Structure 1
Amino acid sequence: MNEVTIPYSAKKQKNMALLFLLIGIAGLAIGYYIFFIEPRVYLIGRVVSIFLILLGFGGFLKLILAPKKATDAAIAFSKLGIQGNTTPVAKAAGLIEWSDIAEYQIDDRYIHIALKNPEKYAERMKSFFVRDTFMKGQKGALAISIAEVDATEGEIARYVYQFINESFQQKGWS
């Protein structure tokens, strides 16, 4: 097997859009309470309510008006490595070579990847904020979201295991 591409799921994107809508509605409810019913609330409460409104409705509109296409590759596995397009940091890192992976862990939401040489991937990242998040916030580790794809945790684990083993066998490692 040369390559496996996992596309985005339209159904999961709609579910995420509804979640963002609920966050926006909660922000509106909190904002209404803070601004009209109990105006003695501190500034931080007002800022949080406005943030929730913007995040919720912004995320909702983005996912409803311009969702990722079902033909777009969310995650791609190949003999060379893994490439994730589901998070800004993983997308900016590009292809993660199997030999650069120190360890990985897969849960129901993410593929967590610890890298042997994170500086190599930080150099590829053009945006200062993405690079800073990668190096300081995530301490040189990557997280590829699997929340937007239809593949199960078990399928993802099988692909990672299969391709990482093929890569090591080609190099003569066991």
Structure 2
Amino acid sequence: MEKEIKLFRNSKKTKNLLLTSLAVCIILLLVIIYSAGIFDGELKIKPLVFSSGAFLIMLILLLKSVLSLKDKSPLIELNKQTFYGKTTPVSKSFGIVNWEDVADIQLQKTGGDTLVVVSINNPEKYEGRLSKMFWNIAYNNSTNQLTLMYSASEIDIDANELFNLFNKSWKESTSLNR
């Protein structure tokens, strides 16, 4: 690999995600209003509590996404020795990873998204980078590996192309180290 690969935010995909999030917030707000008894005068506690919690979470995520639109830096960077991505909270917090520590790369369907899943050996080397909660999400006790996921939902390419880029970069970096 002669040069660095930088993948930037695709504004069309980002707008679609934000509009979808906004639509979910509006639906949750309508459920809150209905559960509060505005239409029929009957208070429904369980749906009100659930929809209020979900609405707050979605609203916070939506506002965070809108604020992140100012960031014009690449969402994923791949070069000869390392890679970095900030398309998921764990990968963003984790930071730069050396290709030499990668054990496996897979494509995995999770929820409504297809993610590139990178398994990393040598977790001791990366200890202290993540909060305890994120470490527990990323660390697999049985394999003694860290698992990082990267999404193509906001970048210029689809998940299969991202997977191919990761695989190609990983193979090229291992052939350079031999």
User: Same fold by TM-score, threshold 0.5 exceeded?
Assistant: yes
TM superposition outliers: structure 1 runs of 4+ over 4 Å: none
Report the alpha carbon displacement of residue 149 of structure 1 after superposing the two structures with TM. Answer: 0.5
Please name the residue that 2:135 is paired with.
131
Q: Give the one of 137, 162, 173 matched to 1:167.
A: 173
Please name the residue that 2:116 is paired with.
111
Please name the residue that 1:24 is paired with.
25
Task: Return the TM-score normalized by structure 1.
Answer: 0.81
Report the alpha carbon displacement of residue 26 of structure 1 after superposing the two structures with TM. Answer: 1.6
8 Å CA contact 1:5–1:73 kept in 2: the answer is yes
Q: CA RMSD in A?
A: 2.3
Q: Give the one of 128, 132, 153 matched to 1:147.
A: 153
In the alignment, the residues of structure 2 paired with residue 171 and residue 66 of structure 1 have an alpha-carbon distance, to the nearest angstrom, of 36
Greater Cα offset, 1-10 or 157-166? 157-166
Amino acid at match of 1:86: T
Query: Unpaired segments of 5 or more residues in structure 2?
Result: none
In the alignment, the residues of structure 2 paired with residue 144 and residue 157 of structure 1 have an alpha-carbon distance, to the nearest angstrom, of 9
8 Å CA contact 2:118–2:147 kept in 1: the answer is yes
Q: Give the one of 50, 55, 60 matched to 1:48.
A: 50
Amino acid at match of 1:119: E
Task: Return the TM-score normalized by structure 2.
Answer: 0.79
Percent same amino acid at aligned positions? 28
Query: Unpaired segments of 5 or more residues in structure 1?
Result: none
In the alignment, the residues of structure 1 paired with residue 103 and residue 58 of structure 2 have an alpha-carbon distance, to the nearest angstrom, of 36
Q: How does 1:24-103 map to 2 (within 5 A)?
A: 24-36=25-37, 37=40, 38-42=42-46, 45-69=47-71, 71-103=72-104
8 Å CA contact 1:23–1:55 kept in 2: the answer is no
Closer, same or farther: CA 62–94 of 1 in aligned 2, 3 Å: closer
In the alignment, the residues of structure 2 paired with residue 149 and residue 12 of structure 1 have an alpha-carbon distance, to the nearest angstrom, of 7
In the alignment, the residues of structure 1 paired with residue 137 and residue 92 of structure 2 have an alpha-carbon distance, to the nearest angstrom, of 13
Q: Give the one of 120, 125, 139 matched to 1:120.
A: 125
8 Å CA contact 2:151–2:159 kept in 1: the answer is no
In the alignment, the residues of structure 1 paired with residue 173 and residue 12 of structure 2 have an alpha-carbon distance, to the nearest angstrom, of 33
Amino acid at match of 1:103: D
Report the alpha carbon displacement of residue 124 of structure 1 after superposing the two structures with TM. Answer: 2.1
In the alignment, the residues of structure 2 paired with residue 32 and residue 153 of structure 1 have an alpha-carbon distance, to the nearest angstrom, of 38
